[in-house]
Structure formats: structure tokens, C-alpha cells
């Protein structure tokens, strides 16, 4: 016999059915206006009957009608947490403090804060920049570096803070045009992402980093392989300043991607060079090369095809030995990339499987210091400029990356915040509430290109101004002077260490010196690395 107490879960549905019957009787006996609540309660009764009969959701079979509240609250859980529960320092993935800083700088508002820091300065993990008793005033904060080695015919004077890779298709047309227009206004670069150069990049008129991914979008044959003629046409554009071969990205290193046919518009098809009505596949690896030596030859070929523009590659560090294979191939071929961008696993504009987002790839700081020291060990660090990407939105974030060995920084989500992203984390659903990460034209219309492009420029300018103030406080005349020793890190509530104790710069050429005693971990991997293959030696 059923437990009467357990049957109370059906009481809400029974009450709704009773109200529907009562409204019907009142409508017949009293006034026709009662048909309105009758329709509402009758509809809920029908919904309850459907819940009892459907096989997919157990919670609805046991709690008809009422069970839908669970799905409602689950659907708005991120918003409830963001607006009502999370603290200003909860990083999921960006704290409210970090987001507010971007918004304020993008809008040109006051970004100061009263009453002292909210950081827990005695907790392990807290870090800070050491300052000087003789600070320096830096008037010009348009900090730049030159990218392009001695074999590069068209070196590029780049800002040390640029927009990281985000494809048209992942972002809306208005978002792409606002970002690129802001880059033109501020004199910095915008990475196209692997989705190719769209009309919205061209309309913006800003400097472009043309990213060549494994799908070779914009420079591909019908079978998805690399097409040299198409590449030459793309790279010849005056807007294109750098050529970047994407090996992997922080969001999902070692994982390909697929844009379903249903999401491919004529504009996306034109930018990517793919047909309408077919899924657009981005393989996990490149077909143009399979060994380190072949990879260097491909980079050299791209440099020639582009007319001598700077060529480099981007990766999230995985097997460290494989990167050393690339460096050995550089030494053997003499083909040295003009730049390398190190993406951290904390990067994440692209939607990714949870396991990849959480547990695949090396964080930026460790990846950056490894690449920096490997190039130093091989004696070629001075020939390669290093970029860094991974949750870099503040002046301190940039200063830390420069101290760890970077020459410049890229930011994706920081610039997304500047054009109105509210961290709704609906990027993969096509339902972005502010029109940034969507192909829905009605949602995208909410993003006004004119006003948002100004915010992009202001965010960049004000962030570099803050970086100049921070560098000056450290006694430096330029942020490029930041070194690990300018950082302090707390290991515990009673111990602090300098940055060069944890992230030291290893000696130039130590990997090539037979008698070197430093960097034993580096040297053991170097001995196993082979320029002819990415596979490990027996």
C-alpha cells in the first residue's frame, strides 16, 4: 500500500487541477472572465499529466509541475551566483574585481579604490611588485617592441598589449568589428583566430595577426589541406602584420573542433573558405608538416610567401620534450621563428570539454618560463620575441608576464569585457545576452560598434598607463625592464620568496655546453629531443 506521506509530492498538481475545475465552474455559473485563470490552471494540469507519462526525467515523474522549478533554478544558477553570492575575489573564472577594473578603464571611469586592499596579503599565493624609493615618471606609455628577425623583410612595431585570438563565428560580426576598430584607434594588433579574415576585420581597418590553424581557413584546398596561393593572397593584405601558426590553444590543447553546418552563414563560409551546408572541421593536428624539421620548413615557406612578414607559432606547452624538438630543428635548419606565443591552460574563450579545460595543458607562467629558458639554453632567445596569453587583464598581470620572460602580452577575455561581456558563460549556446559570442543577429544588434570600439581603445590605453605607473614605481623607465627579482611571492603566512628564486633565468647556452651543471631537468629532456621526430627516443 503506498505511503500516504510520500504521496504529498503530487499535492501541487492535485491542487492545480482542483483550481482549474473551480475556475471552470465559476466561469459557467458566474462570469466568463474566470476562463482566463481556467486556461492557465488547465495548461499546468496538462503539463503535470505529461510529466507523469514522459520517460526522460525521473524528477518530473515524481514531482509533476513542481519539478520544473529545479530546471528553472539550474538554468539561472550562474546569474544567481554572479550577482548575489560570489565575493569580489572569487575567480570563476574572473573575479568581480577583475571584471570591474576592465569595465571602469574601458568606460574611462575612476578605477581607484578606497579603504585599502581586499586581498588576503598574508595568505599563500599572494604576490606583489617591489617598488623603489626613487620612482620614475614615464610620460609616454605607448610601449612597443619590434617583431621580426634578420631574415624578416617587414618587421612590425607592436604594442606590448594586443587582442588575442578569437574567430569570427565564435564572436559576432559586431564584436569583431568593434574589437578591430578599437585596435586601429589605439594602434595595436588584433589576432584573427583560426577562423580567417572576415569582412568585419577588413572594415575595422586595424592591424591583424593572421592565425593559420590546422583547418587552414582562408588558405585551404577543398580537402582541407594548405593552399599556398590562397595564403599568399591573404598575407599580402596591408592589414596583416604577423603570421601565426596555431599548434594548440590553452582552452583545449590537443583537441580539434567542429563548427556544425547549421551555424555556418555565408559570411563565415567566405572568411573560412568552406562550403555552405557542410560541417566545418578543424583537425587536432596539422597536415602540412609532421616532424620538427618539416615544421621549420613550413614556417620558412610562410615567411617567403608573405613577402617577408614576421612568422611565428602559438602553443600551449604539453610534452616539454616536443618543444625542445622544435628548438633543435631551429638550430639544425637555421630557420628561427620571429616570435612564439605561449598560451596557458587558463585561457578559454573557446568552449572546451571539461576535462580538457581543467586537466590538459600547462599554465601560462610555467609554460612561459620553460620556453624562455629553453631558448636561452639554446642560445637563440635574443632572436625570438615571446608573447604570453592567459587571463591577462590588469597592469600587474602584464608586469608579471614580462618579468617571467615575455616581450608582450595578448588578452582575449579582457577585451571581451571591454565590449560588454558579463561572463554569462553562454558562449557556446548562441544565446550570449550582450551580443558578443553569438551569431544571432537580433542578439548581436545589442552591441553598438561605435561606442564599444571606443571602449576597446580606452581599455588598452588606460591599462598601459597603469602599467607605466607600476613600472615607474619599481624604478624602471620601461616595463621591459621587469625581471623575476621585481616580484615577491608568499609561500605561507610566515615565508616569502623573490621571483628569481622560483622562476630564475637560466644561463645563455647552458643546453649546448657539455660541462654545464645547471638545469639538470632541462638537459635530461634536451638529450631525449630529436629534430627529426616528435616521437620520444627509446
Q: Where residue 30 falls among pLDDT bands split at 50, 70, 90? A: confident
Would you state the pLDDT for residue 90? Answer: 60
Domain boundaries, the chain: 4-86, 144-502
pLDDT digits (tens, 9 = 90+) for 368-401: 999 999 999 999 999 999 999 989 999 999 999 9
Q: Is the pLDDT of residue 277 over 90?
A: no
- Asked if the peptide bond before residue 331 counts as cis, ω within 30 degrees of 0, the response is no
pLDDT at 315 over 80: yes
Confidence class for position 349, pLDDT limits 50, 70, 90: low
Q: Give 221's contacts (C-beta < 8 A, 6+ positions apart).
A: 227
C-alpha cell at 330: 631551429
Q: Do the strands 240-246 and 207-212 form a parallel or antiparallel pair, or are they unpaired? A: parallel
- Per-residue pLDDT for 86 more than 70? no
pLDDT band at 245 (very low <50, low <70, confident <90, very high): very high
Predicted local confidence at residue 1, as pLDDT: 46
> What is the total residue count of the chain?
538
Residue 280 has a pLDDT of: 79
Mean predicted lDDT score pLDDT of the chain: 89
Average pLDDT over residues 433-452: 90
Query: Domain 144-502 belongs to what topology?
Result: TIM Barrel (3.20.20)
Rounded distance between C-alpha atoms, residue 252 and residue 35, angstroms? 55
Residues paired with residue 235 on neighbouring β-strands, in sequence order: none
pLDDT of residue 485: 95
| pLDDT band at residue 13 using 50, 70 and 90 as cut-offs | confident
* Joined grid coordinates for residue 100: 570591474
pLDDT in tens, 253-271: 767 777 777 778 888 888 8
Q: Burial of 289 by CB count in 10 Å (0-12 exposed, 13-18 middle, 19+ buried)? A: middle
CA 38 from chain centre, in angstroms, equals 51
**Strand 495-498 versus strand 487-492 pairing type:** antiparallel
Place of cell 591552460: 345
245 contacts 313 by C-beta, under 8 angstroms: yes
193 pLDDT higher than 70: yes
pLDDT at residue number 79: 67
State the DSSP H helix or E strand holding residue 162, giving kind and residue range, or none if neither: strand 161-163
In which band, very low, low, confident or very high, does the pLDDT at 474 lie, cut at 50, 70 and 90? very high
Please report, in angstroms and rounded to a whole number, the separation of the first and last CA atoms in the chain: 69
Q: What mean pLDDT do residues 105-123 have?
A: 82
Closest CA to 412 of 36, 145, 126, 94: 94
For the whole model, what pTM was predicted?
A: 0.86
Any idea which of 1-5, 54-58, 142-146 has the lowest mean pLDDT? 1-5
Q: Give the whole-angstrom CA distance, residue 348 versus residue 354.
A: 11
pLDDT band, very low/low/confident/very high, at 532 (cuts 50, 70, 90): very high
Which pLDDT tens digit goes with each residue over 279-304? 777 888 899 999 999 999 999 999 99
What pLDDT score does 517 carry?
81
Check residue 61 and give its pLDDT.
82
> Which residue from 408, 382, 391 is spatially nearest to 349, judged by alpha carbons?
391
Amino acid at each position: 500500500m503506498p505511503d500516504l506521506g510520500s504521496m504529498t509530492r503530487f499535492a501541487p498538481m492535485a491542487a492545480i487541477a482542483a483550481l482549474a475545475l473551480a475556475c471552470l465552474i465559476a466561469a459557467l455559473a458566474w462570469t466568463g472572465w474566470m476562463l482566463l485563470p481556467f486556461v492557465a490552471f488547465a495548461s499546468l494540469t496538462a503539463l503535470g499529466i505529461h510529466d507523469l507519462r514522459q520517460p526522460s526525467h525521473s524528477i518530473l515523474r515524481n514531482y509533476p509541475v513542481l519539478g520544473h522549478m529545479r530546471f528553472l533554478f539550474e538554468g539561472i544558477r550562474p546569474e544567481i551566483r554572479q550577482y548575489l553570492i560570489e565575493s569580489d575575489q572569487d575567480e570563476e573564472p574572473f573575479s568581480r574585481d577583475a571584471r570591474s577594473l576592465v569595465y571602469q578603464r574601458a568606460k574611462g571611469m575612476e578605477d581607484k579604490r578606497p579603504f585599502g586592499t581586499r586581498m588576503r596579503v598574508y595568505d599563500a599565493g599572494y604576490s606583489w611588485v617591489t617598488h623603489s624609493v626613487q620612482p620614475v615618471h614615464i610620460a609616454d606609455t605607448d610601449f612597443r617592441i619590434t617583431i621580426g628577425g634578420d631574415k624578416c623583410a617587414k618587421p612590425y612595431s607592436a604594442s606590448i598589449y594586443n587582442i588575442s585570438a578569437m574567430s569570427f563565428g565564435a564572436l559576432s560580426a559586431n564584436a569583431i568589428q568593434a574589437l578591430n576598430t578599437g585596435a586601429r584607434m589605439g594602434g595595436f594588433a588584433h589576432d584573427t583566430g583560426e577562423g580567417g579574415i572576415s569582412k568585419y576585420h577588413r572594415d575595422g581597418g586595424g592591424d591583424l595577426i593572421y592565425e593559420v590553424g590546422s583547418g587552414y581557413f582562408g588558405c585551404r584546398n577543398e580537402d582541407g589541406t594548405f593552399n599556398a596561393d590562397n595564403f599568399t593572397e591573404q598575407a599580402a593584405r596591408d592589414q596583416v602584420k604577423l603570421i601565426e601558426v596555431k599548434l594548440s590553444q590553452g582552452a583545449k590543447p590537443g583537441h580539434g573542433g567542429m563548427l556544425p553546418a547549421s551555424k555556418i552563414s555565408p559570411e563565415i563560409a567566405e572568411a573560412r573558405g568552406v562550403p555552405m551546408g557542410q560541417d566545418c572541421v578543424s583537425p587536432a593536428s596539422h597536415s602540412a608538416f609532421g616532424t620538427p624539421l618539416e615544421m621549420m620548413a613550413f614556417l620558412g615557406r610562410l615567411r617567403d610567401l608573405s613577402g617577408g612578414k614576421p612568422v611565428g607559432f602559438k602553443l600551449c606547452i604539453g610534452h616539454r620534450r616536443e618543444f625542445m624538438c622544435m628548438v633543435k630543428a631551429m638550430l639544425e635548419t637555421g630557420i628561427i621563428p620571429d616570435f612564439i606565443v605561449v598560451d596557458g591552460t587558463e585561457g578559454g574563450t573557446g568552449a572546451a570539454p571539461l576535462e580538457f579545460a581543467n586537466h590538459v595543458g600547462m599554465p601560462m607562467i610555467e609554460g612561459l618560463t620553460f620556453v624562455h629558458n629553453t631558448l636561452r639554453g639554446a642560445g637563440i632567445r635574443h632572436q625570438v620575441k615571446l608573447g604570453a596569453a592567459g587571463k591577462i587583464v590588469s597592469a600587474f598581470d602584464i608586469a608579471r608576464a614580462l618579468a617571467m620572460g615575455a616581450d608582450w602580452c595578448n588578452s582575449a577575455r579582457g577585451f571581451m569585457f571591454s565590449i560588454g561581456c558579463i561572463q554569462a558563460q553562454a558562449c557556446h549556446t548562441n544565446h550570449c545576452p550582450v551580443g558578443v559570442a553569438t551569431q544571432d543577429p537580433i542578439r548581436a544588434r545589442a552591441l553598438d560598434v561605435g561606442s564599444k570600439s571606443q571602449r576597446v581603445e580606452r581599455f588598452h590605453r588606460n591599462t598601459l598607463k597603469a602599467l607605466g605607473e607600476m613600472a615607474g614605481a619599481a624604478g624602471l623607465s620601461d616595463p621591459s625592464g621587469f625581471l623575476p627579482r621585481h616580484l615577491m611571492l608568499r609561500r605561507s603566512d610566515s615565508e616569502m620568496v623573490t621571483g628569481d628564486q622560483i622562476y630564475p633565468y637560466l644561463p645563455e647556452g647552458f643546453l649546448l655546453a657539455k660541462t654545464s651543471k645547471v638545469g639538470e631537468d632541462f638537459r635530461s629532456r634536451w638529450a631525449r629531443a630529436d629534430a627529426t621526430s616528435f616521437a620520444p627516443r627509446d
